[in-house]
Amino acid sequence: MLDQIHIDNLIALIGVSNVMYGGLGKRSDPGMSAQNLGADVVVNPGSQAEIVKLVEYCNLQNISVVPQGGRTGLSGAAESEPGQLIIDMHRMNQIIDVDLVSSVATVEAGVKLEMLQNQLSENGLSVGVDLAARGSATIGGMVSTNAGGTEAFRFGTMRHRVLGLEAVLPNGEVFSDLKQVIKANEGYDIKQLLIGAEGTLGIITKVVLALAPADSNRTTALISCENARSAAMTFQKLRNRIKGDLLCAEIMWPEYAYTTARSLNLGKLLEFSESPADVFVIVDIATNSLDGANSYLEDLLSDLIDDQGIRSAVVAQNGREASDIWKIREESFLCDEKYPNGYWYDMSVPLSHLDQYVEDIHARISAIDKRLKLFLFGHLGDGNLHLTVSSGLSCPELQPQIDAAIYDGLREIGGSFSAEHGIGNQKALSLKKHSDAEKYRLLGLIKRTMDPNGIMNPGKIFLY
């Protein structure tokens, strides 16, 4: 833990009620990892000026800083250890402005996604990025991880939504680029370095977001396809045909879909499928009225059914059925409950390679140990796959082989071993291994230039 002298000085900087230590820090919800609260000294600044004071102090005293938002990150990027200082952003939760003429929102970094979504939807607008952790994930955390989610094929990732931002850099200086426009060619785009930096280059305090139109009524359909290639073709055909009205396109392989569906007692929803080997696609489609929606979607899908390997499809008949279909997709942790000790992966694969890639990894994993199962699902629209490999048994000795089976060859086909969850401390070694050497050198150069004392979230992205 930090020495008492530092704790006293932190209290002098931002007040006793905003510094938690001596077990108090551990009383917060650790989120996705108990190690998020490993440091046990948590400060809750209420303004950018307070963050400047904290960071200046830490830089001077060589104290490592771990910024935290909703602690929903999935790659260990918010984990901390004794001797470090957690800067918790939850008090910086003001929606500063929603400009309806420019369709732009300016928010503090600690604003939760759902809170912003709720306010925007009253005005027919949305963030353009959505994810299942919306109730806890903060805009600052989402910018720092360059979050993607289900709408990325329509609106891009956070990188594409951020028009401007403000951040406290590791030396305590404030970087301010609060543009509200899309076009601004003014030399290197420094704010893009902070997006996806996972708190290693500074603490984001304020964000300007370009907003997207809110979706109208949506209807959900569940489609079964012969394989991933036909799933990808179905996505492209639907998209070409109905364009912006295709809101989401998600994919689940059978091992995953049947495991979550049975755990939820929703196995019946998958009975329309003709073969146990079918791949499932969930699509949401925008429709003006719920009444016309079902027949519209049914007509659309029946046109596609004879084509490209769509086998069958069902349209949700009401909101309850739609929500049950989405539960099968979103309750991914049920697979971990049934088959614990798994290894998680998050890759991007070009759609034209999807089927072959998935076939290859099944064969490679089976060659390692026949008991290993692959629970595979993802955001079909952008080729982002989430995968858990598990036999239920603990097998740390197999992890390097499993990593290689999943990652080898991905770069060569134009994919990525790290799609949307970031590098954190879990994939730092893989980043070194799977990056272009010159890119990796430049990453290190940028880090050392902006944070020469290495105080900002050390051990994340980089091994040191």
Ligand X SMILES: Cc1cc2nc3c(=O)[nH]c(=O)nc-3n(C[C@H](O)[C@H](O)[C@H](O)COP(=O)(O)OP(=O)(O)OC[C@H]3O[C@@H](n4cnc5c(N)ncnc54)[C@H](O)[C@@H]3O)c2cc1C
Residues touching ligand X, count (CB under 6 A)? 36
- Considering only residues 381-420, where is the footprint of ligand X by CB under 6 A? 420
Q: Does 145 bind ligand X (CB under 6 A)?
A: yes
Q: Does 42 bind ligand X (CB under 6 A)?
A: no
Q: Which stretch binds ligand X (CB under 6 A): 133-141, 178-186, 266-274, 389-397?
A: 133-141
Query: Cα separation of 251 and 381, whole Å?
Result: 9
The single residue listed with the structure tokens 């603490």 is 203
Exposure b/e, 282-309, CB count within 10 A at least 16 = b: bbbbbbeeeeebbebbeebbeebeeebb
Q: How far is the CB of 424 from ligand X (least distance, A)?
A: 7
Of residues 95, 71, 41, the one with CA closest to residue 206: 95
Q: Does 77 bind ligand X (CB under 6 A)?
A: yes
DSSP for 430-451, written as a single string: HHHHHS-HHHHHHHHHHHHHH-
Site string for ligand X, 187-216 (x = CB under 6 A): -----------xx---xx------------
Q: Are strands 246-252 and 310-315 parallel, antiparallel or unpaired?
A: unpaired
Of residues 131, 130, 45, the one with CA closest to residue 85: 45
288-292 LR contacts (CB < 8 Å, sep 24+): 288/216, 288/217, 289/217, 290/217, 290/219
Q: Which stretch binds ligand X (CB under 6 A): 4-12, 139-147, 292-300, 313-321?
A: 139-147
> Cβ(332)–Cβ(386) under 8 Å?
yes
Cβ closest to ligand X, residue 30 vs residue 350: 30
Torsion (CA) 217, 222, 227, 231 in degrees, nearest 10: -10
Cβ closest to ligand X, residue 246 vs residue 365: 246
Strands, E assignment, 74-173: 85-88, 95-99, 104-108, 125-126, 162-168
> Cβ(281)–Cβ(251) under 8 Å?
yes
Query: Cα separation of 310 and 329, whole Å?
Result: 19
Q: How far is the CB of 157 from ligand X (least distance, A)?
A: 7
Q: Which residue is nearest to ligand X (CB)?
A: 141
Q: Does 423 bind ligand X (CB under 6 A)?
A: no
Cβ closest to ligand X, residue 309 vs residue 415: 415
Q: Where are the alpha helices (DSSP H) in 306-419?
A: 319-330, 333-338, 354-368, 399-407
Cβ closest to ligand X, residue 309 vs residue 459: 459
Q: Are strands 218-225 and 310-315 parallel, antiparallel or unpaired?
A: antiparallel
Q: Does 138 bind ligand X (CB under 6 A)?
A: yes
Q: How far is the CB of 139 from ligand X (least distance, A)?
A: 8
- Considering only residues 99-128, where is the footprint of ligand X by CB under 6 A? 109
Q: Which stretch binds ligand X (CB under 6 A): 6-14, 129-137, 265-273, 298-306?
A: 129-137
Residue from 7, 39, 120, 142 binding ligand X (CB under 6 A): 142
Q: Which stretch binds ligand X (CB under 6 A): 147-155, 180-188, 268-276, 402-410?
A: 147-155
Q: How far is the CB of 166 from ligand X (least distance, A)?
A: 10
Q: Does 260 bind ligand X (CB under 6 A)?
A: no
Q: Does 348 bind ligand X (CB under 6 A)?
A: no
Three-class SS of residue 164?
A: strand
Residue from 6, 53, 71, 229 binding ligand X (CB under 6 A): 71
Strands, E assignment, 169-244: 174-177, 203-210, 212-213, 218-225
Q: Does 457 bind ligand X (CB under 6 A)?
A: yes
Cβ closest to ligand X, residue 220 vs residue 230: 220
Cβ closest to ligand X, residue 35 vs residue 136: 136
- The letter for the amino acid at 284 is D
Query: Cα separation of 79 and 66, whole Å?
Result: 8
Q: How far is the CB of 149 from ligand X (least distance, A)?
A: 4
Cβ closest to ligand X, residue 324 vs residue 420: 420
Q: Does 48 bind ligand X (CB under 6 A)?
A: no
Q: Does 32 bind ligand X (CB under 6 A)?
A: yes
**Residues at the site binding ligand X, with contacts judged by CB under 6 A:** 32, 66-74, 77-78, 89, 109, 131-133, 136-138, 140-142, 144-145, 147-149, 198-199, 203-204, 420-421, 457, 460
